[in-house]
Amino acid sequence: MVENSGARIGVLALQGSFREHITSLKKAGADAFEVRKKEQLDCCDGLIIPGGESTTMALVAERWGLLEPLRAFAKSDRPIWGTCAGLIFLAEEAEGQKEGGQQLLGGLHCKVSRNFFGSQVDSFECELPVDKCLGGIDSQSGEAATTRAMFIRAPAILSAKDSVKVLAEYTTTDEQKAATGRDKVIVAVREGKLMATAFHPELTDDLRWHKYFADMCVEASALRPNVEPASSPCLSGLVVLPDIPVYAPNSDLR
């Protein structure tokens, strides 16, 4: 994975955990900034759609005239990573939506269950085995390495086409299996330039996911001609907020 990649990654800052992503991206060596306007979106080598409330996010994007630019971005050659609500936003199909449904960007050929794990009180944390592309084999033990995964009123992927690479699967507990009828679900995927996770790496101190995405953005930007410099006027006027803490394991969350 590339350190200090210099990739310019925007984080959609309409709602949700965008500041946490920006903190992690900076630690991973990427140039990260908030995106609220089409002009800012045009400056991105890649984009993160953060966790939050997917219906609210879609409504705000539509109201601010960002929905069509986001759809055009999703069809371009630039990477997008959706976490939790962002996963729902990227999916081609979602079940469990509110009455009337919601706007989806699409592009990720999978079917998502919007609230697979239940309500807010059913949120949980676990150690999750990850694919070898994220350093999925422990060099000393030879066993599958894990990532700390935080599921907050989380979705899950029920099915995916063959073009979708599975990066992580979650084995349900007995209680979850009784409630959902499934003993295993997909919770992280990549399809071409699109990546999605049902959990929140930005709330942990594991930077592998952000470094992996930054590498995707570096590779994509190298193929794009006439990329504007980082001092582009379209990034002027942004309010730079201080980094926020990320909770380490066993930290005091009070």
The CATH number for 89's domain is 3.40.50.880
Asked if residue 54 belongs to a known ligand binding site, the reply is yes
Asked if residue 152 belongs to a known ligand binding site, the reply is yes
Asked if residue 114 belongs to a known ligand binding site, the reply is yes
Asked if residue 153 belongs to a known ligand binding site, the reply is yes
pLDDT in tens, 29-49: 899 999 988 889 988 999 999
Q: Is 84 a catalytic residue?
A: yes
Q: Does residue 133 form part of some domain?
A: no
What whole-number distance in Å separates Cα of residue 20 and Cα of residue 41? 19
158 in helix, strand or coil?
strand
Residue 209: per-residue pLDDT: 95
Marked catalytic residue, from 34, 44, 202, 210? 202
Domain of 29 in residue numbering reads as 8-115+156-235
Residue 215: per-residue pLDDT: 93
> How many separate domains does the chain show?
1
Q: Does residue 70 form part of some domain?
A: yes
Q: Is 202 a catalytic residue?
A: yes
What whole-number distance in Å separates Cα of residue 114 and Cα of residue 209? 22
Residues in the chain with pLDDT < 50?
Answer: 1-4, 227, 229-233, 236-240, 245, 247, 251-254
Q: Does residue 251 form part of some domain?
A: no
Q: Does residue 204 form part of some domain?
A: yes
What whole-number distance in Å separates Cα of residue 198 and Cα of residue 169? 10
Q: Does residue 165 form part of some domain?
A: yes
Marked catalytic residue, from 84, 110, 210, 217? 84
Question: Which residue type does 216 have?
Answer: M
Marked catalytic residue, from 21, 44, 110, 200? 200
Q: Is 109 a catalytic residue?
A: no
Q: Does residue 121 form part of some domain?
A: no
Residue 77: per-residue pLDDT: 84
pTM summary value: 0.84
What whole-number distance in Å separates Cα of residue 101 and Cα of residue 109? 18
Q: Does residue 197 form part of some domain?
A: yes
Contact 233, 21 (CB under 8 A): no
Asked if residue 52 belongs to a known ligand binding site, the reply is yes
Q: Does residue 250 form part of some domain?
A: no
